[in-house]
Amino acid sequence: MIITLTTDFGLSDPFVGIMKGVILGIAPDVQIVDISHDVQAYDVLQAALVIDSAYPYFPDRTVHVVVVDPGVGSARRPIAAISHGQIFIAPDNGALTTVLGDEVHAITNETVFLSSVSRTFHGRDIFAPAAAHVARGMPVRNLGPSIQDFIKHPVPQPTRIGDKLLATVLRVDKFGNLITNLRRRDLNPNFTIRVAGRPVKRLCLTFSEAKSGELFALEGSTGYIEIAMNQDSAAEMLQVRQGAEIEVETGIANH
Amino acid sequence: MIITLTTDFGLSDPFVGIMKGVILGIAPDVQIVDISHDVQAYDVLQAALVIDSAYPYFPDRTVHVVVVDPGVGSARRPIAAISHGQIFIAPDNGALTTVLGDEVHAITNETVFLSSVSRTFHGRDIFAPAAAHVARGMPVRNLGPSIQDFIKHPVPQPTRIGDKLLATVLRVDKFGNLITNLRRRDLNPNFTIRVAGRPVKRLCLTFSEAKSGELFALEGSTGYIEIAMNQDSAAEMLQVRQGAEIEVETGIANH
Amino acid sequence: MIITLTTDFGLSDPFVGIMKGVILGIAPDVQIVDISHDVQAYDVLQAALVIDSAYPYFPDRTVHVVVVDPGVGSARRPIAAISHGQIFIAPDNGALTTVLGDEVHAITNETVFLSSVSRTFHGRDIFAPAAAHVARGMPVRNLGPSIQDFIKHPVPQPTRIGDKLLATVLRVDKFGNLITNLRRRDLNPNFTIRVAGRPVKRLCLTFSEAKSGELFALEGSTGYIEIAMNQDSAAEMLQVRQGAEIEVETGIANH
């Protein structure tokens, strides 16, 4: 069985290693995979986007633990969900926005918690042991009652204003590619994307077909349109960060 | 069996991966867990604090390797200790200050070393293979003779001066929380902690009960008092780093 | 079986975790080891140096995946090589320069690819699944035909000019040590290395035998001469980076 971890804990502190100790103490044979521990602190939408891009590449019954948890210790519930044949465990704060389906349970079964639960580190005390018990075979329904009123934030969608489409930069990756919330279908043959005042008019299939210094659009590996440069950082060149607005001139009026 | 790794090697260089190759060549079925590789370079006290916060969450017989080793290649000994039902392997330089108990062995048995031992990378040549042999079942006493004169540095404790307690910031975590060397028992009901000229008077149970922008104290997940902010970095706001002095006005005179 | 990963993907994005999901979906019992994901972006020579320093410490039949791939999606081929009793899988762009031997195969067998292959993430769609199939036992020759015209870049070697040797800084490690392309044999008893205008005349066996503030040379753990300081960063002190030129006065004229 596989347990994946997605957090905003970073790797400098021992937080992630401690979670792994708890998991392996309960489920010694599990394979643990780090998805990312560099989610922007407290940014539940980023966490939701990250797990959404990763889970399709994991086998059925993988248990995904997502801990971006600004409300740790407050009344927000821990939840466990079954979706797409996999299991997702997280605080009920929108961090699973992209994956929650029909079956969601509040985690109330304290027998799966560590014997002493802190107010500040539920990754260690609740989420890690709950995931380990599920990976060992405990049915998700044993974690607690089914709920319907879980939190699901909308992922920002492009908005049409007149003949324009207002979109946004969802994430910037390590190479400086701007991952937008646009899809291939949003771009007409004669599209112009405007980002930080610069026009982008070319859709490339690969990074390497672009000229050096050229800004271009590309359908990224997660299906979103990215603004990119060939062996250079679009983010740095444009001085653009997550959340930046971009505009698409579609050439089609909004009749 | 589990082997954990705590070093100041970072993750950019291949050092940590190389140690894992050595371990898996000897003990193919071991689970390797990274605790942290971002201990401040050469800071053995940080290493000791990190492993101290992590080991209690690992199962019995876990082998913890701690390599922060400014004296690598010099006369300082490699040691292996049994403590709290777990095994700790490190250079004899204080990096195990927080965990060393009664049974400590110098590692002198060269049959567990790599065939060629460098002067600069004992993590690869001595500590990793010794840990792997122990994880496979070699008794710790086979690594070398029991010793008593191992190095144990004191962890800085708060000092009482008049009616004040002088304390220090042991670590700053990724969220900017200041982990102090104070414990809950050091704070009276009417305490004032002064840090970087700012008074902190409130003890919260959770991050989220504090107001935005408020500095507060909190009993952290390792039992130390932390100075924190809700979804913000106390370290950045106060411009305070590891080692900073803090003062507690206890309101109790030193009769 | 072990699969190692060396990339320029960083650990903030989910790229590496996704590759691991693909691998474990095909080969659930494999041990995955990260060598480094902080290879400088697009720097195939760095990747070649990193894997060259790491593979000797892994057991026979380890599968090493190296993905530094500026030409992803272009005509450059994926390749798999058998060398030193181990298997190396990478794009054919020089990233395996240091390890390629006689047996190199183009990976053309699409049955080992993911069912849908993107133009931008072959680490996920081609390299990870090919490695997993080989780790499970598929012979390398089943991946595709043997080739001879693979790309091998020369590793920069020191050049003799008159009585001087011009060398270069291959890498800077986390501690600020400058890893040069010099070997022990390149240094005469009375050598002077000049780097950033500063002379280095002493060869130490260990870091700790040098005085505080002293620049010295040392045979590093990979066999290259390093310029180092004791518990300090030579790179920071000299303001020197990868690629910097260094000069060795050998005292031997070039007759």
ipTM: 0.96
Q: Name the percent of chain A lying above pLDDT 90.
A: 92
* Tens-digit pLDDT profile for residues A139-180: 999 999 999 999 999 899 999 998 899 999 999 999 999 999
| Nearest in space to B180 (alpha carbons), one of B52, B44, B49, B66 | B49
Q: Is A40 on the interface with B (CB under 8 A)?
A: no
Q: Is A43 on the interface with C (CB under 8 A)?
A: no
Q: Which residues contact A55 (CB under 8 A, 6 or more apart)?
A: A4, A62, A64, A84, A86, A88, A99, C21
Q: Which residues contact C251 (CB under 8 A, 6 or more apart)?
A: C163, C188, C190, C191
According to DSSP, the β-strands at A31-36 and A2-7 are: parallel
Residue of C12, C71, C121 lying closest to A221 (CB–CB): C121
pLDDT of C253 higher than 90? no
Q: Stretch B120-139: mean pLDDT, rounded?
A: 97
* Tens-digit pLDDT profile for residues A94-147: 999 999 988 999 999 999 999 999 999 999 999 999 999 999 999 999 999 999
In one-letter notation, the amino acid at residue C226 is E
Q: Tell me if A178 sits within 8 A of A227, measured CB to CB.
A: yes
Confidence band (pLDDT; 50, 70, 90) for A73? confident
Q: Stretch C187-213: mean pLDDT, rounded?
A: 94
Q: Tell me if B153 sits within 8 A of B97, measured CB to CB.
A: yes
Q: Which helix (H) or strand (E) holds C235?
A: helix C234-238
pLDDT of B254 higher than 50? no
Confidence band (pLDDT; 50, 70, 90) for A252? low
| Nearest in space to B93 (alpha carbons), one of B128, B144, B127, B131 | B127
Residue for token pair 């607005």 = A245
* CA–CA gap between residue A219 and residue A52 (Å, rounded): 17
Please answer yes or no on whether C18 and A54 come within 8 Å at the CB atom: yes
Q: Is B255 on the interface with C (CB under 8 A)?
A: no
Angle at A40 between CA A37 and CA A42, to 5 degrees: 100
Reduce the DSSP state of residue A73 to 3 states and report it: coil
pLDDT of A224 higher than 80? yes
* Burial status of residue B67 (CB atoms within 10 A of its CB: 0-12, 13-18, 19 or more): buried
pLDDT of residue A234: 97
Q: Stretch C143-167: mean pLDDT, rounded?
A: 94
| Nearest in space to B187 (alpha carbons), one of B152, B214, B221, B226 | B226
For residue B119, which residues of chain C lie inside 8 Å, CB to CB?
Answer: 205-206
pLDDT of residue C159: 96
Q: Stretch B174-202: mean pLDDT, rounded?
A: 95
Q: Tell me if B90 sits within 8 A of B133, measured CB to CB.
A: no
DSSP annotation of B140: G
Residue of B9, B73, B121 lying closest to C208 (CB–CB): B73
Residue of C31, C174, C220 lying closest to B10 (CB–CB): C174
pLDDT of residue A232: 94
The number of beta carbons lying within 10 Å of the beta carbon of residue A211 is 9
* Burial status of residue A139 (CB atoms within 10 A of its CB: 0-12, 13-18, 19 or more): exposed
Confidence band (pLDDT; 50, 70, 90) for A253? very low
* Tens-digit pLDDT profile for residues B30-66: 999 999 999 999 999 999 999 999 999 999 999 999 9
Q: Stretch B165-188: mean pLDDT, rounded?
A: 96
pLDDT of residue C74: 87
Q: Is C93 left (phi over 0), alpha (psi -120 to 50) or beta?
A: alpha
Q: Stretch C225-244: mean pLDDT, rounded?
A: 96
Please answer yes or no on whether C34 and B11 come within 8 Å at the CB atom: yes
DSSP B183-229: -GGG--TT-EEEETTEEE--EESSGGGSPTT--EEEE-TTSSEEEEB
* CA–CA gap between residue B55 and residue B49 (Å, rounded): 10
Please answer yes or no on whether A120 and B218 come within 8 Å at the CB atom: yes
pTM of the predicted model as reported, rounded to 2 decimal places:
0.96
Residue for token pair 């790309």 = C151
Helices B15-26 and C44-54: angle between axes, nearest 10 degrees: 30
Cα A190 to Cα A17, A85, B199, C164: the distances in Å are 50, 40, 60, 60
Hey, what are B212's tokens?
């935005």
| Nearest in space to C7 (alpha carbons), one of C47, C45, C60 | C47
Q: Name the percent of chain C lying above pLDDT 90.
A: 92
* CA–CA gap between residue B6 and residue B50 (Å, rounded): 8
Hey, what are A161's tokens?
């204003």
Please answer yes or no on whether C73 and A220 come within 8 Å at the CB atom: no
Q: Is C28 on the interface with A (CB under 8 A)?
A: yes
* CA–CA gap between residue B63 and residue B215 (Å, rounded): 39
Average pLDDT in chain A: 95
Average pLDDT in chain C: 95
Q: Is C75 on the interface with B (CB under 8 A)?
A: no
* Tens-digit pLDDT profile for residues C23-56: 999 999 999 999 999 999 999 999 999 999 999 9
Confidence band (pLDDT; 50, 70, 90) for B251? low
pLDDT of residue B252: 57
DSSP annotation of B123: I
* CA–CA gap between residue C142 and residue A66 (Å, rounded): 39
Confidence band (pLDDT; 50, 70, 90) for A251? low
Q: Tell me if A27 sits within 8 A of A130, measured CB to CB.
A: no
* CA–CA gap between residue C51 and residue C6 (Å, rounded): 7
pLDDT of C255 higher than 50? no
B217–chain A nearest CA distance, Å: 12
Q: Stretch A179-207: mean pLDDT, rounded?
A: 95
Please answer yes or no on whether C118 and A36 come within 8 Å at the CB atom: no
* Tens-digit pLDDT profile for residues C75-134: 899 999 999 999 999 999 999 999 998 899 999 999 999 999 999 999 999 999 999 999
Helices C15-26 and A44-54: angle between axes, nearest 10 degrees: 30
Residue for token pair 């205008």 = C197
pLDDT of residue C150: 96
Q: Stretch A42-60: mean pLDDT, rounded?
A: 97
* Tens-digit pLDDT profile for residues B68-95: 999 998 889 999 999 999 999 999 999 9
Reduce the DSSP state of residue B45 to 3 states and report it: helix
pLDDT of residue C75: 86
Q: Name the percent of chain B lying above pLDDT 90.
A: 93
pLDDT of residue C252: 57
